[in-house]
Copies of this chain bind each other. A is one copy, B any other.
Protein backbone atom coordinates (compact mmCIF):
# COMPACT_ATOMS: atom_id res chain seq x y z
CA UNK A 1 0.00 0.00 0.00
CA UNK A 2 1.21 3.48 -0.73
CA UNK A 3 1.60 5.96 2.07
CA UNK A 4 -0.53 9.03 2.21
CA UNK A 5 -0.66 11.46 5.09
CA UNK A 6 -3.95 11.57 6.98
CA UNK A 7 -4.27 15.27 6.12
CA UNK A 8 -3.84 14.67 2.42
CA UNK A 9 -6.33 11.80 2.38
CA UNK A 10 -8.87 14.02 4.17
CA UNK A 11 -8.37 16.70 1.53
CA UNK A 12 -8.70 14.21 -1.35
CA UNK A 13 -11.93 12.91 0.22
CA UNK A 14 -13.31 16.42 0.60
CA UNK A 15 -12.38 17.30 -3.00
CA UNK A 16 -13.96 14.20 -4.52
CA UNK A 17 -17.06 14.66 -2.39
CA UNK A 18 -17.41 18.31 -3.41
CA UNK A 19 -16.78 17.42 -7.05
CA UNK A 20 -19.60 14.88 -6.94
CA UNK A 21 -21.97 17.31 -5.27
CA UNK A 22 -21.27 20.26 -7.59
CA UNK A 23 -21.01 18.38 -10.87
CA UNK A 24 -23.90 16.06 -10.06
CA UNK A 25 -26.16 18.92 -8.94
CA UNK A 26 -25.26 21.12 -11.91
CA UNK A 27 -25.92 18.42 -14.49
CA UNK A 28 -29.17 17.16 -12.97
CA UNK A 29 -30.89 19.44 -10.45
CA UNK A 30 -29.75 22.81 -11.89
CA UNK A 31 -30.37 21.87 -15.52
CA UNK A 32 -33.80 20.48 -14.70
CA UNK A 33 -34.80 23.38 -12.48
CA UNK A 34 -33.69 26.03 -14.98
CA UNK A 35 -34.12 29.74 -14.23
CA UNK A 36 -31.55 31.09 -11.76
CA UNK A 37 -29.93 27.64 -11.65
CA UNK A 38 -28.70 27.91 -15.24
CA UNK A 39 -27.68 31.55 -15.18
CA UNK A 40 -24.14 31.64 -16.58
CA UNK A 41 -22.53 32.98 -13.41
CA UNK A 42 -24.13 30.37 -11.15
CA UNK A 43 -23.71 27.41 -13.46
CA UNK A 44 -20.13 28.31 -14.32
CA UNK A 45 -19.21 28.64 -10.63
CA UNK A 46 -20.60 25.14 -10.05
CA UNK A 47 -18.69 23.67 -12.98
CA UNK A 48 -15.43 25.45 -12.20
CA UNK A 49 -15.60 24.32 -8.58
CA UNK A 50 -16.36 20.73 -9.63
CA UNK A 51 -13.50 20.69 -12.10
CA UNK A 52 -10.84 22.16 -9.78
CA UNK A 53 -11.91 19.83 -6.97
CA UNK A 54 -11.55 16.85 -9.29
CA UNK A 55 -8.18 18.06 -10.46
CA UNK A 56 -6.88 18.86 -6.97
CA UNK A 57 -7.58 15.29 -5.92
CA UNK A 58 -5.72 14.11 -9.03
CA UNK A 59 -2.67 16.24 -8.26
CA UNK A 60 -2.56 15.05 -4.65
CA UNK A 61 -2.94 11.41 -5.68
CA UNK A 62 0.10 11.73 -7.96
CA UNK A 63 2.04 13.67 -5.31
CA UNK A 64 2.62 16.48 -7.81
CA UNK A 65 4.89 19.34 -6.72
CA UNK A 66 2.08 21.74 -7.70
CA UNK A 67 -0.59 20.04 -5.58
CA UNK A 68 -0.60 22.71 -2.90
CA UNK A 69 -0.77 25.56 -5.42
CA UNK A 70 -3.80 23.88 -7.00
CA UNK A 71 -5.41 23.37 -3.58
CA UNK A 72 -5.08 27.11 -2.99
CA UNK A 73 -6.95 27.91 -6.21
CA UNK A 74 -9.44 25.18 -5.32
CA UNK A 75 -10.28 26.83 -1.99
CA UNK A 76 -11.09 30.05 -3.89
CA UNK A 77 -13.29 28.25 -6.42
CA UNK A 78 -15.14 26.49 -3.58
CA UNK A 79 -15.79 29.74 -1.71
CA UNK A 80 -16.99 31.40 -4.92
CA UNK A 81 -19.37 28.51 -5.60
CA UNK A 82 -20.68 28.57 -2.01
CA UNK A 83 -21.47 32.28 -2.37
CA UNK A 84 -23.31 31.61 -5.64
CA UNK A 85 -25.36 28.88 -3.94
CA UNK A 86 -26.26 30.87 -0.80
CA UNK A 87 -29.23 32.78 -2.28
CA UNK A 88 -30.86 29.58 -3.59
CA UNK A 89 -32.64 27.72 -0.76
CA UNK A 90 -32.34 24.32 -2.46
CA UNK A 91 -28.56 24.66 -2.79
CA UNK A 92 -27.71 24.84 0.92
CA UNK A 93 -26.17 21.35 1.02
CA UNK A 94 -24.01 22.26 -1.94
CA UNK A 95 -22.82 25.49 -0.28
CA UNK A 96 -21.98 23.57 2.92
CA UNK A 97 -20.02 20.95 0.99
CA UNK A 98 -18.08 23.69 -0.81
CA UNK A 99 -17.14 25.37 2.48
CA UNK A 100 -16.02 22.06 3.99
CA UNK A 101 -13.81 21.45 0.98
CA UNK A 102 -12.43 25.02 0.99
CA UNK A 103 -11.40 24.51 4.62
CA UNK A 104 -9.54 21.27 3.84
CA UNK A 105 -7.86 22.83 0.80
CA UNK A 106 -6.65 25.80 2.82
CA UNK A 107 -5.14 23.45 5.40
CA UNK A 108 -3.40 21.49 2.65
CA UNK A 109 -2.15 24.61 0.87
CA UNK A 110 -0.64 25.94 4.08
CA UNK A 111 1.13 22.77 5.07
CA UNK A 112 4.86 22.03 5.08
CA UNK A 113 5.33 19.12 2.69
CA UNK A 114 7.93 16.37 2.92
CA UNK A 115 10.46 16.81 0.11
Contact = CB atoms under 8 A, between A and B. Distances in A.
A75 B83 CA distance: 29
A103 interface: no
Interface in A38-86: 38, 40, 43-45, 47-48, 51-52, 55, 57-59, 61-66, 69-70, 73, 76-77, 80
Interface string A73-107: 10011001000000000100100000000000000
A69 B77 CA distance: 10
A1 interface: yes
19 contacts: A1-B93, A3-B28, A4-B28, A27-B62, A31-B40, A31-B43, A44-B63, A45-B65, A47-B62, A48-B59, A48-B66, A51-B58, A52-B55, A52-B70, A64-B77, A66-B77, A66-B80, A70-B70, A73-B73
